[in-house]
């Protein structure tokens, strides 16, 4: 078996860079230019079980929960997500890694229905380096989370296929306390000009330990505020870390609603630090709902095009 070339050396490893001992699976179609090489590595594995699949779901189905399995998805691989059951991330501890850079990374295109989504119903799942594309109007959410503790999204690009195609949210949690604890969103982007877009996160439950870091967000949110978090009545987030994000939250005059988040609870805890926000709320701009319980350090905002942002909330005296 020749595994000394590019793909072979990478894919034949049983270890990922995080040091797990799970099995490695690969996803690509037979039309992939490197298919023969990939098939040579995974076509006849020692245990007799296939590790080369044409769809992500078939690879997920082959994984064993909590073993540390990794699914590597080929550069240029493309699939459509046309329903709420098209891709079920229901095996704990599985990592999906896209191969390639930028537009060459694998892409998942959401179409056909507003309910098209990636359903996450297992703990400790990670997806990184994918293009996630809206090709239908007002899709409810990219990810719908149930019993999905420690779900991680990293180095992904979320965007629209054309005008009037959009995701309303990236993350939609359920109402059960703790089901989305540990949600992480890092080093990713969401660019969405459609005015029907609402917020990065629809927070329907009480959750803990969220980390949102080093992302770029440019969305035309509805004029209700909460461009990053819309927290449902009576719910709250604890021990969050929202740091070093850059955002354009363009939603008109918000009439005093929080530009970045909205909440009716004072039980929230955690830090918003070093976030830079451009917006269009020239009336009574505020970072988030008053008396939320969150802490703020070195965040800058501006509602004036071409102006340098100023510290908001105001510096303590």
CA gap 313, 316 in Å, rounded: 9
CA gap 104, 107 in Å, rounded: 8
In a domain, 170, yes or no: yes
* pLDDT tens-digit series, residues 213-225: 999 999 987 777 8
pLDDT of the chain along its 317 residues, tens only? 343 444 454 444 444 445 457 999 999 988 888 788 777 766 656 666 778 999 999 999 999 999 999 999 999 999 999 999 999 999 999 999 999 999 999 999 999 999 999 999 999 999 999 999 999 999 999 999 999 999 999 999 999 999 999 999 999 999 999 999 999 999 999 999 898 999 999 999 999 999 999 999 999 877 778 999 999 999 999 999 999 999 999 877 777 789 999 999 999 999 999 999 999 887 778 999 999 999 999 999 998 888 899 999 999 97
In a domain, 243, yes or no: yes
In a domain, 5, yes or no: no
What pTM was computed for the model?
0.91
28 and 35 in contact (C-beta within 8 Å)? yes
Counting the structural domains of the chain, the total is: 1
In a domain, 44, yes or no: no
In a domain, 34, yes or no: no
Name the nearest CA neighbour of 288 among 313, 252, 307, 270: 313
Could you count the other beta carbons within 10 Å of the beta carbon of residue 110?
28
Could you count the other beta carbons within 10 Å of the beta carbon of residue 307?
9
In a domain, 101, yes or no: yes
* pLDDT tens-digit series, residues 55-87: 999 999 999 999 999 999 999 999 999 999 999
The two tokens of residue 193 are 């000009």
**Domain range enclosing 243:** 77-311
The two tokens of residue 262 are 């909205």
In a domain, 133, yes or no: yes
In a domain, 31, yes or no: no
Identify the pLDDT of residue 283. Answer: 74
295 and 313 in contact (C-beta within 8 Å)? no
């Amino acid at each position: 078996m020749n595994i000394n070339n590019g793909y072979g050396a990478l894919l034949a490893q049983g270890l990922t860079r995080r040091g797990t001992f799970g099995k490695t699976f690969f996803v690509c179609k037979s039309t992939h230019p490197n298919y023969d090489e990939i098939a040579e590595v995974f076509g006849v594995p020692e245990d007799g079980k296939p590790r080369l699949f044409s769809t992500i779901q078939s690879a997920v189905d082959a994984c064993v929960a909590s073993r540390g399995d990794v699914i590597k998805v080929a550069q240029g691989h493309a699939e459509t997500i046309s329903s709420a059951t098209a891709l079920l991330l229901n095996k704990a501890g599985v990592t999906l890694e896209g191969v390639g850079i930028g537009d060459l990374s694998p892409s998942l295109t959401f179409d056909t229905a507003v309910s098209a989504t990636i359903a996450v119903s297992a703990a400790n799942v990670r997806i990184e380096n994918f293009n996630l594309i809206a090709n239908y109007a007002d899709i409810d959410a990219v990810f719908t989370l149930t019993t999905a503790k420690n779900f991680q999204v990293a180095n992904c690009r979320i965007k629209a296929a054309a005008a009037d195609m959009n995701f309303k949210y990236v993350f939609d949690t359920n109402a059960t306390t703790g089901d989305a604890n540990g949600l992480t969103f890092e080093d990713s982007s969401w660019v969405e000009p459609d005015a029907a877009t609402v917020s990065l996160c629809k927070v329907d439950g009480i959750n803990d330990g969220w980390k949102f870091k080093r992302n770029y967000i440019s969305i035309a949110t509805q004029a209700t505020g909460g461009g990053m978090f819309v927290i449902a009545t009576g719910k709250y987030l604890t021990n969050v870390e929202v740091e070093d994000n850059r955002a354009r939250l363009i939603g008109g005059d918000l009439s005093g609603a929080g530009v970045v988040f909205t909440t009716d609870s004072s039980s929230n805890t955690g830090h918003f630090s070093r976030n830079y926000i451009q917006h269009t709320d020239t009336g009574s701009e505020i970072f988030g709902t008053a008396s939320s319980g969150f802490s703020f350090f070195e965040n800058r905002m501006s509602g004036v095009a071409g102006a340098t942002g100023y510290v908001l909330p105001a510096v303590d005296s």
